[in-house]
Chain A
Amino acid sequence: MKPRVLVRSVGRFVMMLGLLALSGAFIPTATIAATKIENVAIITPASKTNGGWDEQGVNNITSVTQKRGIKLEVAENAGYEDITPILQDLKDSGAQLIFCHASGYQTICPEFAAENNVPVAIIENPKAVKPGLISDIETHAEDVAYLAGVMAGKETRTGTVAIVVSAEPPTWNFMSVGFAEGLKATRPDAKLIYSVIGQAAYDDAANAKRTTDSVLAAGADIVFGMGDGASFGMIQSIKEFNQGKPVDKQARFIDVIGDKSKTAAKSFLLSSVLFDYTNTYNQMIDDLQNGTFGKVHTLDVKNGGVHLLNPPIPVQPGTMAAVDAAKEKIVKGEIKVSTIGDANGVHKRLKELFPGS
């Protein structure tokens, strides 16, 4: 080969390397770390307007994406069957991160993420966390539910309090146990009625009403209701029960997720366990952009991710002081609330706490 030809070939090779380097194809790690998030999606099992868990998640991510100028795709009413085709659609439509907003998706979403290399955020499954691919949200709502139990213990007049749940997912279970422990700590002689509406009766408002009718007839004057759409059945039941009764004979309601103080429940809503995912969602998007995605995020009393709604109706003197004192002890770690996510564990713990109920 002539020296001129050799020089020309080497020059071409060097130019090609330069062009490749400029296009970014030659510096892999740096470009992944600098990924700009422009499109995310959320998938929910029920309606985004169900006044509960699903609505709360969609509202929070909508607020985050609007502020950041990110496109959001919402896949609602996905149910609990195989959601893989919906996840595939979301991926095909360009979602760079999918929020799987149900503890019922804690297995299927990690599987999908692994197979399709799409980052997902899941609920209550920290073992599935994988750097760059899967982040998890742990909702320590049991601490706030404990505070709700303290409030119920202070406020009950009949000494009988009810928990009505539309199903027994981990998040509901954590709160059931937390509430029962708070009640027991405040009012050891109280009776607790625990009633499950159905296996996945999140929108079964009719049976929620019938169940609540029954617990009220059995003497409960405070109902801690976890229902999503089914909550409206509980609210209507209490509304009917209270009709024509003097205030001191009326039943009251403690809700979860969402502030219903401006709804028909306003006259008997004692409080609500509120969730706020906004900071966590922002953090997850930042993590993905910075290449640090794949962590366990926690919503707890200390970081304000979960908190108790201030009572919209008058409460007994001393009730809020007791709640605040318990909150302080939780933050300091002086009160440790049990974290029980499985249904069998819940039933066992409730029997231990309230053997006669």
Chain B
Amino acid sequence: MSIEALLTALLASTIISSVALTIASLGEAIGESAGLLNLGIEGMMLISGFVGFWAALESNNLWLGFLASIVCGAVAGLIFGGLVVLAQADQVIVGLAMTLAGGGLSGYLFREAYGSNQPLLQGDLGRPLRHLGGGIPVIGPAIIGQKWIVFVTWALVPLVWWLLRRTRFGLEIRAAGERPFAADVAGVDVTRVRLLAAVINGAFSGLAGAALALAELGFFRPGITVGTGFIAIAIAMVGRWDPLRIAIAALLFGLLRSAGTWMQITGVNIRPEFLQMLPYLGVIVAIVILARGTRLPAALGLSYRRGIDRT
């Protein structure tokens, strides 16, 4: 095995395995900035991934699948927002309920639709820049030759930063997450802003589910996310709700996850259990080191009732 082939495999795997995580974490960052702690990302990813897969398979159109996933995620976000913003339900309980419901419903629907069959999607949306990286070792196939979803994910990073830091709506989101009462007094419709943030959060979760099922894997299976949604919540906190930091943290997580496989391939004599523990250990260490002094959005997890709450 050549070093070049191994490095290419490591880098390519690092990048692709960070995609869904980055997208879901960016969505969570928007939600948390508005004061919404969404523990339902996992379930939203699962149900959106299934809906997108079903739509893509039935229509033989991957773009339609992506659209269906995003819409499904947005609807799930609206349900979450409706329950926690309008009905003032506890965010933690609603989020966990959505994770359980999304996992159960996607598994049930998959079984109803396909039984014991495992259909795979035909074709993919391609690698748009592959021709540019032909002669470049490692970087060419591992980065330039990546699937288009990788570049969309990277484009979302500055876009979300711009949304949160450079737009009026972004300022309203942050105000709703820090001082909802003050924002309300200043004329911001906190309910509307939080609902919109929940919908965007859901749409990002839907896109993350589609990135996993439609772009990376080309199929859906019940429970396919295996905890990605929960890792995304940790990554959003490690990244302190800053899109660039989130992208880097997700890449580091992807690197640690891929490094485990890479070390097994190269014959490093370490027990697989330890290697598989690495990425999660990395998240814990990162939270301790990077997020120790982090100040959470002041109103994170708290509901706001106009005329009653004064925080």
Using a CB–CB cutoff of 8 Å, the interface residues on chain A facing chain B are 47-49, 51, 55, 160, 168, 191, 193-196, 198-199, 201, 203-207, 209-211, 213-215, 217-219, 229, 232-233, 235-236, 239-240, 263-264, 347, 351, 356-357
The distance from the CB of A177 to the nearest CB of chain B, in whole angstroms, is: 16
Closest to B119 in A: A264
Residues of B with C-beta under 8 A to A207? 226, 257
Give Cα A217 to B271, complex, Å.
Answer: 22
Residues of A with C-beta under 8 A to B117? 263
Extra 16 A-B pairs, beta carbons < 8 Å, given A48-B116, A210-B261, A239-B218: A47-B111, A49-B111, A191-B1, A198-B276, A199-B276, A205-B224, A206-B224, A211-B261, A213-B16, A214-B13, A214-B258, A214-B261, A232-B120, A263-B117, A347-B271, A356-B267
Give Cα A347 to B8, complex, Å.
Answer: 26
A215 lies within 8 A of B219 (CB): no
Residues of A with C-beta under 8 A to B222? 47, 203
| A196 in contact with B276 given A217-B8, A218-B1, A218-B9 (CB within 8 Å) | yes
The distance from the CB of A197 to the nearest CB of chain B, in whole angstroms, is: 8
Give Cα A193 to B6, complex, Å.
Answer: 13
Chain A CB within 10 Å — which of B124, B261, B271 has the most?
B261
B9 lies within 8 A of A49 (CB): no
B221 lies within 8 A of A232 (CB): yes
B218 lies within 8 A of A213 (CB): no
Rank and list the top 5 A-B pairs by shortest CB-CB distance, nearest first: A217-B9, A49-B116, A196-B272, A264-B120, A214-B9
Please, how many residues of chain B have a CB less than 8 angstroms from a CB on the other chain?
42
Give Cα A264 to B1, complex, Å.
Answer: 28
B13 lies within 8 A of A210 (CB): yes
Total cross-chain contacts (CB, 8 A): 103
Chain A CB within 10 Å — which of B8, B124, B226, B258 has the most?
B226
Residues of A with C-beta under 8 A to B271? 347
Give Cα A194 to B269, complex, Å.
Answer: 12
B261 lies within 8 A of A195 (CB): yes
Give Cα A203 to B224, complex, Å.
Answer: 7
The distance from the CB of A328 to the nearest CB of chain B, in whole angstroms, is: 34
Q: Does B187 contact A (CB under 8 A)?
A: no
28 interchain pairs, CB-CB under 8 A:
A47-B107, A49-B116, A193-B264, A193-B265, A195-B261, A196-B264, A198-B276, A201-B226, A203-B221, A205-B219, A206-B217, A206-B224, A206-B225, A206-B226, A209-B216, A210-B13, A210-B258, A213-B16, A214-B13, A217-B8, A217-B12, A219-B5, A232-B219, A239-B120, A239-B218, A263-B118, A264-B120, A357-B267
Q: Does B106 contact A (CB under 8 A)?
A: no
Closest to B115 in A: A49
A206 lies within 8 A of B212 (CB): yes
Partner of B264, one of A194, A209, A263: A194
| A218 in contact with B265 given A205-B221, A232-B219 (CB within 8 Å) | yes
A51 lies within 8 A of B267 (CB): no
The distance from the CB of A258 to the nearest CB of chain B, in whole angstroms, is: 9
Residues of A with C-beta under 8 A to B216? 206, 209
Give Cα A229 to B219, complex, Å.
Answer: 12
Residues of A with C-beta under 8 A to B267? 356-357
Chain A CB within 10 Å — which of B16, B223, B228 has the most?
B223
B265 lies within 8 A of A215 (CB): yes
Closest to A212 in B: B261
Residues of A with C-beta under 8 A to B10? 214
Give Cα A160 to B5, complex, Å.
Answer: 14
Closest to A208 in B: B217
Q: Does B273 contact A (CB under 8 A)?
A: yes
The distance from the CB of A44 to the nearest CB of chain B, in whole angstroms, is: 13
